[in-house]
Every structure is written in C-alpha cells, then in structure tokens.
Structure 1
Amino acid sequence: MTTKLDQLTSWLKERKITEVECLISDLTGIARGKIAPTNKFLDEKGMRLPESVLLQTVTGDYVDDDIYYELLDEADIDMFCRPDENAVFVVPWAIEPTAMVIHDTFDKQGNPIELSPRNVLKKVLKMYSDKGWQPIVAPEMEFYLTKRCADPDFPLEAPVGRSGRPEVGRQSFSIDAANEFDPLFEDVYDWCEAQDLDLDTLIHEDGPAQMEINFRHGDALHLADQITVFKRTMREAALKHDVAVTFMAKPITDQPGSAMHIHQSVVDIKTGKNLFSNADGTMSELFMHHIGGLQKFIPELLPLFAPNVNSFRRFLPDTSAPVNVEWGEENRTVGLRVPEAGPQNRRVENRLAGADANPYLVLAASLLCGFIGMAEGIKPSAPVKGRGYERRNLRLPVTIESALERMEACKEGEKYLGERFMRAYVAVKRAEHENFKRVISSWEREFLLLSV
C-alpha cells in the first residue's frame, strides 16, 4: 500500500531534489524552518522547531516573559512539524534542485499546535465541513515594485523600467506601464507555473509601479499556501532584476495602499450548489447572514486583517481604501462588495484586508466572520447605493491599539479560535507596537527638531 510519505518520496526523487526547505508560517507570516539534504529530510520524516517560534514578532523579538511562560512550556520544548504532501513546491530560482515543503505542527501527543496559523485556518475549515459546507475563495494580491534602497529613512521610489525612466503619476490598468517590467514578470509567471500556482491575471493598479496578481478560486488552505509561496517568489524575482517588491499595506506617502481582496462563497459539499443563491437565482438568507457576520465581527478581529501599525494608514481619509464594513452591489467604495455574477458564482468581496496580512490567518478570520453570521442568523445592514466612504456607521477602529483592545474583548474569537491563540496574537502585536513606539520618525525630526 502506497503511503502519503511514499508519494512525497517519489515526487522528490523524480525531480532529483537534493535539498528541502522545511517551513512553517509564524504569526506575522514569516516563513521559518530548516533547510535539509533530501536524504536527511526523508529519514526524519519532518523536523522539530521550538514552540517559541510562534511567539516571535516581526523584528524577531519575543513577548514579555510573564505572557510567554503562561502560553508556552517553561522548558522551551520543541513542537513536531510534519510535511504536508499537498503543499510541496519546487524552488525554481535555486542553484541546486530544491523543494519547499510546508509543514503542520503538533505537540508530542499528536495534537495540533493552537498557535499555528495553518492550524487556525484548518480549524475554521472544519467548522464549515461539519455543517456540510465548503468555502471557496479567490484572493487578489496588491504590491509595489520599488527601487532598491538600503537606508530605511529614505522614502521609497518607483523603479526604472525598460524605457529607462521611472513611472510618474497614476497608470491604473495601463498595459504599457505593466509591460515596463516584462522581464521580471516573465520570470514570475514561469516560476509560478513550475510551482503549479493558480495565477489568473496581472493588473497595473493605481500607484506608480503598483501591481495586482489575481488567483483563481479554490480551496482556502491550498490558496493560503500558494500566497506564502507567491510572496517568496515575487521577492526572488525582484532581487534577480535589481528592484525590490513590498507587500506593506501603505509603503508610499500619498499613494494608494496595497490590499488583499478576498472573494468568498460557500457551496454545499454534496451537491456543489452555491449556498448564497436561492433556486430562483435571488440572494439567499444564508448569504445575507454571511454578510451580517462579516459586518459584525471584522471590527472585532481587525488585527487579523490589519496586523501592523502601517496597516492602519490604508484606512486614512482619501486613500481610496474602504473605511467601514458597509456592503453594496458592484460598489468599490464599501468594505464588502458583491460583484455582478450569476447565481452559481455569487460571492462577496472582502476589500478590507491588507497585503501585509498573514494569508492563513486573514482567510481564517474572513471565513470565520461569515460562518458565525450563517450559524447565528445575523442580519446585515441595508446595502449602500452610491458613495460609501463617508458613511459614519459600521466604521473600523482607527489605530492598532484600539483594534487590539477590541480583539482582546471578543468572546466569539475566544470561543471559535481559542483563548490561547487570541492571547498569543494580541501579545505579539502589542510587543511589535511597543518596539515601534521606541523609534523616532523622520516626521518628528523634520517638524519638531528645531520648532518646539
């Protein structure tokens, strides 16, 4: 009988893979793990990592000791990481034949680690499957190409394209502006094809050298894995072509931010029917409740959608990003857009998540909010017709501090995601913010240094 490990072994040997990058995602979305020769990887059938990896901040620091030892074993024990044979990708930019294998994490009793972002998403997907439902998602990733710059005090600038000139102004949907970086994107598409990533279209977005890659709709876990791999792929392609790529939510002053728009729907597992549509093609009650859940709980779990202090710069006035959880049909000025589509393709587009969000956690959060709405019959507000930016109801927290306070008080989050995960995530984000507050910004030096 052929086992899943046998299949993985055959996959690696067929491609003459000599090195394996074994990785997991931490809470911030950073890939952490080990690199091993293929023989050692197959002998050990996985890897071990300290549990503490899941309490690291984006700077590599850790949360305060009192919280750390409440959440983790005082002996700083290992967790056991097992490869997922459905999350194996070639590394086409590597010199030696290399594979990237995403792992799941377990304790020594074989229980899934609660703080693992991938396990959090799997927990939410099980809630759906227990109801006989399957969510379908299609993410859209926005990002900027910039000049490479080693000094973080310098503002980012648009890179020089094939014409020898940097882009100026806003070239939304311009084919020629996107073609300025054809050599880079040829590599991206070749590498993504080699990795079997389900890319759909490339779009030039509003900002200078701001792009968007759309993924085809599919399984949420598989697409979260693909986004993780895609981010690494984009960074490698940018390095090869002597530019940089950033998924920061708001990298450039007075330019549009970068989002991760999430199209989501729910189908019946047995029939494949879209549960968001009635037999006559109209919007179903479950669809209304799904939107109601998104409206009620996105503000409560906003740090999963906007994880960094920079994320909240997207929500400032006149930034072209939605600032509330209003909903409307074919309306891009609200947080929850319902695109024009046939009954089987009816979906809601969550436009609030930043491109900097952890893909596992943001998909888990977006699907969880909708799930609670469906399970508890939460009714949405009336849809918005016309411009929605100025709507004062259903607005979001405006700072990371206030958002973390709301998340900390969210009982539904504890109920569905677990108290340990909620405490750990809030603690990591608070530690990051304390680190941020110690840094003196260029604004302070420019306007306060000689004036106050």
Structure 2
Amino acid sequence: MLTKDHFTFSDLENWLNERRVTEIECLVPDLTGVARGKILPRQKFTEDRGMRLPEAVVAMGVTGEFPEEGPYYDVINPTDRDMHLRPDPRTVRIVPWATDPTAQVIHDCYDKEGRMVPFAPRSVLRRVCGLFDAEGWSPVVAPELEFYLVARNSDPDMPLKPPIGRSGRAETSRQAYSIDAVNEFDPLFEDVYSYCEQMELNVDTLIHEVGAGQMEINFFHDHPLGLADEVFFFKRTVREAAMRHDMFATFMAKPIAGEPGSAMHIHQSVLGRDGKNLFSNPDGTASREFYWYIGGLQKYIPAAMALFAPYVNSYRRLSRFTAAPINIQWGTDNRTVGIRSPVATPAARRIENRVIGADANPYVALAATLACGYLGIKNRIEPTPECKGDAYLGDFALPRSLGEALDLLRNEKDLADVLGAEFITVYTEVKEIEHAEFMKVISPWEREHLLLHV
C-alpha cells in the first residue's frame, strides 16, 4: 500500500478523485501557526498546482499587524511581492466537517527564483532537518499537547470558565487522569477521534490533565516535519469540534488564573546512519551524544525562549510549583526539571523538553529545540550535573518576560546560524509589535490595585 510519505502529484490526483473532492483549502502556516491561504475549486487547483500570496502573509503578528519600518524590511520587500506556493502532496487531508467533499493541503513558500522563503515556519523546520540529514542523522520527535476546554466566551474582558459536561455541571476541582472527568465530554471527543481518523492523524493517548477542563493528547513518534503538520491540523480540528459542542478549545499557555498552564512537551531522539538510537551506546549506556544534546538544550533554551514562549501570556505559565519548569536543569524521570529523560530502553532513550508552551508554533518550536540539540552535539557541550531533587527549589534560569526573551534571541548568533538570520529578524520584529500592542492595554489588576492606592 502506498503511504503518503511517497505521494507524488499523480497520487494526489488519484486520492482526490477517489474522494470526489470538489474544493481544496490551500493552507500556509504563518508565524503564529494560523492557517492562511485560499480555497480553490478542484479544477483550478489541478491546473495551477499552487497559488501566490504576499510574502508578509506568513510574517504578521497575532493581531494582524506588521512593522511599519526597521530591519523587518531588510528581509521582506516593501513592494509587497508575491510568494509562489507549492503544495506538499504528502500533507493532503480530508476536511471532515465540510458540507461538500473538501480537502486541505499544506503548501511550502518559495520566491520567484525557486528558493524557499526563509522566514516561513515550515521552511525553518525543513532547514534544521536538512542539517541533521547532512550529518547522516534522523531526528525523531513525539509531542504531548495540552489544551483547555472552556465555556463559550464572547467577551474578552470576562475570565474563562470550565465548560458544562454531560452531568450538567462544570468542574470545580482538580481531576488529573480522571477517566470520569474525560467521559463528561464523550460526545466532543467522539467527534475529535472521528475527525482525526478521517484525517489520518496519528494521535495516541487522551488524558485529563491537572487543570479544570484541561486535557492532553499524545502523538506517536515520527519525523519532525510530519508531526508539526499533524499538530497544526489537530489544533484546527479540536477548535472546530469544540465549537460544534458549544464550547471553545484553547491552546493559550495560561488561560485561567489559578489553574496550571498548558505545555507542548516534545520528546526527541536522533537515529544514526545505522538506524540505531544515537543516544545509546552498544552496551545500553547513555552515549556522549545524549549528554551533548542535553548540554545544547541547557545552553540555548534561554535564548530560544521567545520561540518556545511566544506571547506575553506565555510567561504566566512559567512559575514555581505550577507543573511548569523555571530552569534548565535536567534529570531522569523528574518532572520538576526543564529537560527530562524518561525511563526507557536503550533503543527508546530520549530527551523531553518541558519548557515549550502549547501556544508555540509547532514548526518553530520543533525547529528551535532540534537546533539547540544539534548545536550541543556539534559543539560537544557538556551538561551540568543531573538534578536528582526538586528543581523548583533552584533559581529561575529562564527569561521572565517576552521583552527579555527577545533580547536574548537577537543576541544569540549560533541560533541565527542554524535557524536563519532572516527568520530571526522577521520573528523578533513581529513579536516587538505584539508586545507594544499589549502594553497599550490597561488590565483589571492595574485598575483594581493602582487606581486609588498610588
């Protein structure tokens, strides 16, 4: 049976014919992970096999704003020129909630000379995977993605609340790993699993996390680009399913005060030229590459935080004793550290980056964490001694705000070399605009505590 890993355009046409598809959603993930693009009739898609969009479409902030001046326009032409988009046949999926037979296909971004647009998120991940390929290495990842189900909320000034389940009641207490708490939302998750099956998404375990209405979905391990695509599709799918059940699904890092934040933990390992785990020696012990990879994560995670925690809200999650890390210590089977090594067989030895928020763009987050590990192996960076106790008792070792994180990212040349200087320039300039937009907003806390007291 032909798998999508080997899909050609001819195979894509056959796939579309078998499903009698009449429309194609041509998608491009932007810097925030939002699906941009166009909806084309099947015939036009077949004739053109691509489309054009202004290159700034993938380089805007979450508010839809662009920089008005500065280094951004050293990378993006101020004439608002087009990108030439090419569909990746391997990404084709049915849109299960569409009324008419509709497919969705992710596109890669190129300039008119046929070069990949360097600041498009999918391009950045392809670039990093290419560096591994050049060494004869194959990165393997498995994301664990947390999210909240919340009651519909049309007023952004009102706090979010857990949704009503089958019992007619909302959760009011912590229900970690509760089967009954998950069953409260059986109708929703039946739709989610049905949609995922139709879309051929390789989702694994569903659990109830610590927070009220907080869930986690695990993905089977695979190649980074394919899994970034699956996370991208999954977020879209869960949001759609939730709205059909009169609730919202949110991947905000910290949506509800007093509840734990949501993470995207990424398990990662590397296969060598022989197809064996590079992190294990023949005798089953941990290899030098295993420790160097950890050393790279420890050295570069602070500078990569703006990529792992991309919004002002992201830093509310990273606080002491809240199931989120505050530093870059590492340990075996230790969930208080930022870098965890789960108990596993030598063939399955892996490293879990627990710093990344659920709000991170999956393409950017995967590219950045792999870049850190790649630099660790290439530069033979030794890690600090293993943390065998409670890492929350240690000092903060991560940026405490988006502004601080952006300064660190701008000044880290090694990450710019791996991820691309053009990407770092565009990303940091866009995030500065978002930060400036946030600073224009006066919060309820400020009105409550400062109005009459200062």
Is 1:389 aligned to residue 378 of structure 2? no
Instruction: Work out which of the residue numbers 77, 93, 100 in structure 2 matches 1:96.
Output: 100
Instruction: Work out which of the residue numbers 244, 250, 253 in structure 2 matches 1:246.
Output: 250
For 1:11, the equivalent position in structure 2 comes to: 15
For 1:142, the equivalent position in structure 2 comes to: 146
Q: Percent identity?
A: 54
- Is the contact between residue 7 and residue 90 of structure 2 (CA under 8 Å) also seen in structure 1? no
Give the match's secondary structure for 2:269: strand
Is 1:165 aligned to residue 169 of structure 2? yes
Is 1:374 aligned to residue 377 of structure 2? yes
Instruction: Work out which of the residue numbers 356, 367, 373 in structure 2 matches 1:353.
Output: 356
- Is the contact between residue 132 and residue 138 of structure 2 (CA under 8 Å) also seen in structure 1? yes
For 1:416, the equivalent position in structure 2 comes to: 418
For 1:332, the equivalent position in structure 2 comes to: 335
For 2:63, the equivalent position in structure 1 comes to: 59
Instruction: After TM superposition, list the pairs within 5 Å mapping 1:106-185 onto structure 2.
Output: 106-185=110-189
Structure 1 residue 444 displacement after superposition:
1.4
Give the match's secondary structure for 1:301: helix
Structure 1 residue 14 displacement after superposition:
1.0
CA distance in 1, matches of 2:136, 2:411: 30
- Is the contact between residue 95 and residue 199 of structure 2 (CA under 8 Å) also seen in structure 1? yes
- Is the contact between residue 254 and residue 319 of structure 1 (CA under 8 Å) also seen in structure 2? no
For 2:401, the equivalent position in structure 1 comes to: 399
CA distance in 1, matches of 2:334, 2:248: 32
Structure 1 residue 54 displacement after superposition:
2.4
The one-letter amino acid of 1:365's match is A
Give the match's secondary structure for 1:212: strand
Structure 1 residue 318 displacement after superposition:
2.9
Structure 1 residue 66 displacement after superposition:
3.0
Q: Which moved more, 1:308-317 or 1:65-74?
A: 65-74
Aligned CA-pair RMSD: 1.2
1:368-418 deviation per Cα after TM superposition (whole angstroms, max 9, x unaligned): 10010011100000000021112127x101111111000000010221122
Give the match's secondary structure for 1:32: strand
CA distance in 1, matches of 2:413, 2:224: 25
CA distance in 1, matches of 2:112, 2:169: 57
CA change 1:3–1:235 in 2 (3 A) is: closer
- Is the contact between residue 27 and residue 37 of structure 2 (CA under 8 Å) also seen in structure 1? yes
1:334-385 deviation per Cα after TM superposition (whole angstroms, max 9, x unaligned): 0011000000000011100000000000000001100100111000000000
CA distance in 2, matches of 1:430, 1:344: 43
For 1:204, the equivalent position in structure 2 comes to: 208
The one-letter amino acid of 2:382's match is K
Instruction: Work out which of the residue numbers 219, 223, 233 in structure 1 matches 2:223.
Output: 219
Return the TM-score normalized by structure 1.
0.98
Is 1:310 aligned to residue 313 of structure 2? yes
Moved over 6 A (4+): none
For 1:194, the equivalent position in structure 2 comes to: 198
Give the match's secondary structure for 2:237: helix
- Is the contact between residue 259 and residue 355 of structure 1 (CA under 8 Å) also seen in structure 2? yes
CA distance in 1, matches of 2:95, 2:248: 19
Structure 1 residue 70 displacement after superposition:
1.8
Return the TM-score normalized by structure 2.
0.97
Structure 1 residue 3 displacement after superposition:
8.6
1:290-349 deviation per Cα after TM superposition (whole angstroms, max 9, x unaligned): 000000001111111000010000112232211111000000000011000000000011
Instruction: Work out which of the residue numbers 437, 441, 445 in structure 2 matches 1:439.
Output: 441
Instruction: Work out which of the residue numbers 283, 287, 291 in structure 1 matches 2:286.
Output: 283
- Is the contact between residue 328 and residue 385 of structure 1 (CA under 8 Å) also seen in structure 2? yes
Instruction: Work out which of the residue numbers 283, 299, 304 in structure 2 matches 1:301.
Output: 304
Listed as ranges, the gaps of 5+ residues in structure 2 are: 1-5
Is 1:322 aligned to residue 306 of structure 2? no
The one-letter amino acid of 2:33's match is G
Q: Which moved more, 1:183-192 or 1:69-78?
A: 69-78
For 2:3, the equivalent position in structure 1 comes to: none
CA change 1:103–1:422 in 2 (3 A) is: same
Instruction: Work out which of the residue numbers 37, 43, 48 in structure 2 matches 1:39.
Output: 43
CA distance in 2, matches of 1:148, 1:24: 28
CA distance in 2, matches of 1:54, 1:86: 21
CA distance in 1, matches of 2:67, 2:322: 33
CA distance in 2, matches of 1:387, 1:48: 52
CA distance in 2, matches of 1:300, 1:68: 20
CA distance in 1, matches of 2:262, 2:72: 32
Is 1:425 aligned to residue 430 of structure 2? no
The one-letter amino acid of 1:158's match is P
The one-letter amino acid of 2:325's match is P
CA distance in 2, matches of 1:89, 1:3: 12
CA distance in 2, matches of 1:31, 1:20: 13
CA distance in 1, matches of 2:88, 2:206: 29
1:260-292 deviation per Cα after TM superposition (whole angstroms, max 9, x unaligned): 0000000124x2100100011000000000000
For 2:367, the equivalent position in structure 1 comes to: 364
- Is the contact between residue 21 and residue 34 of structure 1 (CA under 8 Å) also seen in structure 2? yes
Instruction: Work out which of the residue numbers 39, 54, 65 in structure 2 matches 1:50.
Output: 54
Aligned residues: 449
